[in-house]
Structure 1
Amino acid sequence: MRNYLFASGLFGAITSGIALLRGTRDAPITWRAVLAWLSWGITIALAIGAIVDFRRDERGETVSFDSPVAPVQFKRAKKALKAEQKAQKRS
């Protein structure tokens, strides 16, 4: 988890969770508070999912098409295919 801990998505989710905890600590539980916590949970899940995708990319595994890493992997695969075709033409 090298640089992932300080990634802006995870850092933002953690700090917003702290702020949400401080804001709802003494307040009664309302539907707004429930929605705020639900939103925070989704944000944390997305940040962790992005970290998992970055880790998979580092290992050379494919990621889902809706991942923020997918366009980078696609470009890399396209470039590798082009290089392979060029090498075959030379042979």
Structure 2
Amino acid sequence: MLTGKQKRFLRAEAHHLDPIFQVGKGGVNDNMIKQIGEALEARELMKVSILQNCDEDKQEVAQSIAKGAKAEIVQIIGNIIILYKESRENKQLVLPK
């Protein structure tokens, strides 16, 4: 579980990132969750964009992605979800205590 200080740090780090994945009309599927998990292992921090034609609620989308990829939701702002997962092999970010 992330603390407020850690979330603030991660939000600042994610500010300059562009969304890598988009959730559209099809919603979230197993293949997308697998790819997001692999991308998080490589990057640790990423943005996911929710398109206008997505039928699901953005909170539900964020929860299902985070649960499937075993990641933490840093923030949901507008139609962007910021996710964090500590990498096992290529650790890049050092979180404040």
Q: TM-score range by the shorter chain?
A: under 0.3
Instruction: Point out the structure with the larger helix share.
Output: 1
Instruction: Point out the structure with the larger strand share.
Output: 2
Q: Which has the higher contact order (CA 8 A, sep 6+)?
A: 2
Which of the two has higher C-alpha Rg? 1
State the TM-score, normalizing by the size of structure 1: 0.27
State the TM-score, normalizing by the size of structure 2: 0.26
